[in-house]
Structure 1
Amino acid sequence: MRYLVDTLKKMLTVLLFSTLVMLAGCQESGVKTVENTGNTDRNWKEQFNQKLSMLGHRNWILVVDKAFPEQNAPGMEYIYVNEGLLPVLKEVLKQINLSTHVKPIIYQDKELGFITENQANGVEQFVQESKTIFGNQTVYTMLHDSVFRKLDSESKLFKVLIIKTNETIPYTSVFLQLDCNYWSGEKERQLRDTLNAK
């Protein structure tokens, strides 16, 4: 009888442990993270290209430095790329600019323009190289804290894809708000004016 009781206790312990492990595995947070460490070059580019075809007007793509925090909003998805920010940004902008459905509205942290070389080594070279990547595209600036407030409200309705790099120069993150490539804001205003006149 004692053997039977001991066996039942062991079985219940194993069953309880198995159930807890299974439940822990089923829990999912609202934020998805995909880490790339091995053959990163092809992997992250393929992942990005797949996601880009699903993104559209009012979605965001962020190419961020290493200290950019992971946030809890369910509309945010992360990809970690073990590369510098500028090569990743160059590829992201190239793919967006080649797409037929979206174009980027580019934002940078305002603080980046006020950091000196003795405060952050490499900042001047970073700024010059980023200007080359942006070319003749307009770049807007906003204070870093206002980025978080904007993303907090946007991610409740629209997907935000965050590509986190290994960049360690502060305030180098680039925020790309996607706009429709084949329908301008001016055309939209004309359409709304026509509708309101009816």
Structure 2
Amino acid sequence: MRYWYFLLVCISLILPACHEQAGNVLHPEKTSVADWKESLQEKLPLLGHRNWIVVTDMAYPLQADLGIITLYAPETFGNVAAFVMDRIRRSEHVFAHIYQDREQLALTEELCPGVTAYRNSLSKVLDGSEKVTFLPHEELISKLDSVSKLYQVVVIKTALTLPYTSIFFELDCKYWDAVREVTVRKLSMDAVDNH
């Protein structure tokens, strides 16, 4: 009887440790609050076209898909968005298509106090050289859900408590464009046909 009791005690001590180790293997991107910038900088050279980076407000949901990494940034939304935008601008391999929630356009100071300050801080980040596309929130979430099944999505949550304020960066190839892509596809088809 003592043997079984001893065995049960050993198992009960070993199982939580195994579970914790498995959790670390499944989620190696667990990061402390202080190193979100370092995590993003390490990840950015690995990201390419079809990957996304999203800077969100506090209530943005923690998505369960393994293709989505969530970091927490204890800085202002404007500072986080500026850091992300700066890193994308400096990269040699990607640029970003930028999306925001269409619902954000309907927010007023009466409905959502603080939205004017948010817009002012974001206008400093997006200096007018970048085109922003506004889509319904649910459509953007659906895009991320679909993309994350094949490609990595990095979500950076901030402490901002205003709704519909997330900014979505869909990465694309900086050194190649759609016109050249169409040309090379047509030429490759012609080459196959003439072969």
- TM-score when normalising by structure 1: 0.88
- The match for 1:143 among 131, 136, 140 is 136
Q: Which residue of 2 aligns with 1:44?
A: 36
Give the whole-Å Cα distance in 1 for the aligned partners of 2:27 and 2:119: 31
Aligned positions of 1:18-167 closer than 5 A: 18-28=13-23, 34-37=30-33, 40=34, 43-135=35-127, 136-167=129-160
Q: 1:19 to 1:31 in 2, by over 3 A?
A: closer
Instruction: Indicate if the aligned counterparts of 1:66 and 1:167 stay in contact, CA closer than 8 A.
Output: yes
Residue 13 of structure 1 aligns to a residue in which SS?
A: helix
| Structure-1 separation of matches of 2:100 and 2:28 | 24
Name the counterpart of 2:8.
13
Q: Secondary structure at the match of 2:78?
A: helix
How many residues align structurally?
189
| Structure exhibiting the larger radius of gyration computed from Cα positions | 1
Q: Secondary structure at the match of 1:188?
A: helix
CA 1:190–1:156: 2 relative to 1, 3 Å: same
Matched with 1:174 is 167
1: CA distance between counterparts of 2:27 and 2:140?
Answer: 18
**RMSD between superposed Cα atoms in Å:** 1.7
1:57-92 Cα deviation digits (max 9, x unpaired): 110000111100011111111111112211000011
TM-score by length of 2: 0.90
Deviates more, 1:124-133 or 1:90-99: 124-133
AA at the equivalent of 1:140:
T
Give unpaired runs (5+ residues) of structure 2: none
Code of the residue aligned with 1:90 in structure 2: it is A
SS in 1 for 2:7: helix
Structure 1, 184-193 or 9-18: larger mean CA deviation: 9-18
Q: Percent same amino acid at aligned positions?
A: 34
TM-superposed deviation, 1:31: 5.7
- Is 1:100–1:181's contact at 8 Å kept on the other side of the alignment? yes
The answer for the alignment partner of 1:186 in structure 2 is 179
Aligned equivalents of 2:110, 2:32: Cα separation in 1: 32
Does structure 1 retain, via aligned residues, the 8 Å contact 2:31–2:39?
no
Deviates more, 1:18-27 or 1:144-153: 18-27
Separation (CA, whole Å) in 2 of partners of 1:130 and 1:98: 19
* 1:7-65: CA deviation from partner (whole Å, max 9, x where unpaired): 3243123122123223322433866663434xx2xx22211111101111110000111
Query: Is the partner of 1:27 in helix, strand or coil?
Result: helix
CA contact (8 A) 1:30 1:73 kept: no
